[in-house]
Amino acid sequence: MDYKKAGAASTTITRDSQKIDAPSGNLYESVVIIAKRSNQISVEMKQELSRKLEEFATVSDNLEEVFENREQIEISRYYEKLPKPVLIATQEFLDGKVYFRHSGEEAKQ
């Protein structure tokens, strides 16, 4: 997924708590939903970064042969400039792109 196009701000901004609690009906549930989605995004981003940096990994054990690879630095800088996972998750939640359900209500029915 291209997180640059997620539409999330790259800096923190003040959010209206009423907009955050509207989808779930409870502010704390909304925060938990956003936190769980943020963890998912973080894991996806880390795996994607690891896959891209694996291409540049060397098998040599000699510490003297450490060198800087320009492409590797550019990839790392790209991921550093991306919005933080919690900002992406919050934007997705407010846009209605996050699916959530209450498992306790399903058990009662």
- What does the alpha-carbon distance between residue 107 and residue 99 come to, in Å, rounded to a whole number? 18
pLDDT in tens, 75-89: 888 888 888 999 999
Mean pLDDT, residues 46-71 taken together:
72
Determine contact, residues 80/1, Cβ cutoff 8 Å. no
Domain residue extents for the chain: 20-57+67-98
Contact of 8 with 91, CB cutoff 8 Å: yes
Closest C-alpha among 2, 4, 12 to residue 90:
12
* Whole-structure pTM value: 0.77
Segment 12-56, tens digit of pLDDT:
788 888 999 888 888 999 999 999 999 999 999 999 988 888 877
Q: Which residue has the higher pLDDT, 73 or 60?
A: 73
Residue 12 backbone phi and psi in degrees, to 5: -75, 140
The DSSP 8-state label assigned to residue 23 in this structure reads T
What is the C-alpha to C-alpha distance for residues 21 and 10, in angstroms, rounded to an integer? Answer: 22
pLDDT exceeds cutoff 60 at 106: no
Q: Tell which wins on pLDDT, 73 or 92.
A: 92
Q: Where are the beta strands (DSSP E) in 1-109?
A: none
Give the pLDDT score at 31: 94
Helix, strand, or coil (residue 68): coil
